[in-house]
Homo-oligomer: A and B are copies of this chain.
Amino acid sequence: MPTTKEDYAHHISQQFNNELEEVRTHFLEMGGLVEKQVADAMHALLDADSVLASSVQENDRKINAMETRVDEELVRILARRQPAASDLRMIIAIGKAITDLERIGDEAAKIARYAQALCEEGESPRGYVETRHIGNQVRVMIHDTLDAFARLDVDQALKVMQADVEIDLEYKTATRALMTYMMEDPRYISRVINVLWVLRGLERIGDHARNIAEQLIYLVKGADVRHVSYEQVEQKIHG
Interface residues of A (CB under 8 A from B): 61, 64-65, 67-68, 71-72, 75, 78-79, 81-83, 85, 88-89, 92, 95-96, 99, 179, 182-183, 186, 189-190, 193, 196, 200, 224, 226-227
Output the least CB separation between A53 and chain B (Å). Answer: 19
Smallest CB gap from A176: residue in B: B190
Instruction: Find chain B residues with CB under 8 A from A186 CB.
Output: 182-183, 186, 189
SS class, residues of chain A in contact with chain B? helix
Q: List 17 A-B contacts (CB under 8 A).
A: A65-B227, A68-B224, A71-B224, A75-B88, A78-B78, A78-B92, A79-B85, A82-B82, A179-B189, A179-B193, A182-B189, A183-B189, A183-B190, A186-B186, A189-B189, A193-B196, A200-B200
- Which one, B65, B67, B227, contacts A68 given CB within 8 A? B227
Known contacts being A88-B75, A88-B79, is A68 close to B190, with CB within 8 Å?
no
Output the least CB separation between A62 and chain B (Å). Answer: 11
Instruction: Find chain B residues with CB under 8 A from A78 CB.
Output: 78, 83, 88, 92
Instruction: Find chain B residues with CB under 8 A from A83 CB.
Output: 78
Instruction: Find chain B residues with CB under 8 A from A99 CB.
Output: 96, 99
CA distance A186 to B193 in the complex (A): 13
Nearest 7 CB-CB pairings of A with B: A64-B227, A186-B186, A82-B82, A182-B189, A183-B189, A183-B186, A68-B224
Instruction: Find chain B residues with CB under 8 A from A224 CB.
Output: 68, 71-72
Instruction: Find chain B residues with CB under 8 A from A82 CB.
Output: 81-82
Instruction: Find chain B residues with CB under 8 A from A89 CB.
Output: 75
CA distance A229 to B186 in the complex (A): 38
Smallest CB gap from A71: residue in B: B224
Instruction: Find chain B residues with CB under 8 A from A79 CB.
Output: 85, 88
Smallest CB gap from A84: residue in B: B79
CA distance A67 to B64 in the complex (A): 25
CA distance A83 to B78 in the complex (A): 8
